[in-house]
Amino acid sequence: MAGILILGEIEGDALGSITGELATVGQALAATSGDEVAVALLGGTPDSFAGDAIAAGADKVYTVADPLLADGQIDAYLSAFEQAVQQTSPSVVLIGKTELGRDLGPRLAFRMGVGVAQDCVELSVDESTGRVSALRPVYGGNAMAKVTFQGDGIQIAVVRPKTTEAPEPDTSRTGETQALSVELESSVIKARRVDTVTQASEGVRLEDATIVVSGGRGLGGEEPFETLAGLASMLGGAMGASRAACDAGWLDHSYQVGLTGKTITPDLYITVAISGASQHMAGCSGAKHVVAINRDQDANIFKSCSYGVVGDWNKVLPAFIETVSELINS
């Protein structure tokens, strides 16, 4: 049976990146505990993604196929995954803090009568107890708390995406695939999907970008973000924003970086007129290099940046863009 069971996710016609990230976390835990790392894939036809899950780091893949899982309804997923957990008896369950996982994790823990560690950014095994310890932000990201699981029940951890870098898929890896049989009835689905709206996007996804250019409330309006979009495009990156800018209606919340937005891990993160509140920094703490432009020399962002420019973005940014353009075209 599985020692560490991961809820795998399928995004469109590909295995979700969170599955590889969780497999990396699972293998790190298994290095201490010696457990097997398994991935549960749920969907209408999940079998075709089993090989991808093994290449991403799974030792074993459990597939759960049912037409009721094809639409991604959380009630159906919850019922199916609960049965998968009961059949495989894992000691640790790893779930990504995704649109699906952030709701499914605590609901699963309630059903099984066990605890859950939410929004984990780091997991380890306490060698003295053999139980999992989790590091998670608290007080709006102003502090980090280390929590552990009491007793001997299943340990459920909901892990924040992009806190671990998944390695390139290893197609030489081999593993076992086993189909699980679950009982699902349409009555478990309490919500009805009325419509699906797809938001068109261009270029690289914010979560996957190696270069991100973000703007904050200090830009003063929607128009300056067109300039930031041009800079991001010039660098082959993506544009983001602070929560304050999104709340003001200047950009859609899909651009939001932060504790309640998206977590990013770019090689280069350029912030313009962002103060650096703890909630925002919680979403970009994995950035390798941060460049900050802000007129307030006491702004919190300067405590976390690799390079900082104190000045009015109206004066600094045009010269910066001109220099970048010259370097690209030289």
Which pLDDT band holds residue 259 (cuts at 50, 70, 90)? confident
pLDDT tens digits for range 5-52 = 999 999 888 999 999 999 999 999 999 888 899 999 999 999 999 999
Beta carbons of 114 and 154 less than 8 angstroms apart = yes
pLDDT tens digits for range 73-109 = 899 999 999 999 999 999 999 999 999 999 999 999 9
Q: How far apart are the first and last CA of the chain?
A: 59
Residue 164: CA atoms inside 13 Å, Cβ hemisphere, count? 25
Using the predicted structure, report yes or no on whether residue 189 has a pLDDT greater than 60.
yes
Domains annotated on the chain, with CATH: 4-188 (3.40.50.620), 206-329 (3.40.50.1220)
Beta carbons of 5 and 90 less than 8 angstroms apart = yes
The dihedral of CA 201, 207, 212, 216: what is its sign? positive
The dihedral of CA 55, 56, 60, 62: what is its sign? negative
Using the predicted structure, report yes or no on whether residue 1 has a pLDDT greater than 60.
no
Query: 123 phi and psi, to 5 degrees?
Result: -125, 145
Task: Return the SS3 of 291.
Answer: strand
179 or 140, higher pLDDT: 179
What's the mean pLDDT in 165-191?
A: 91
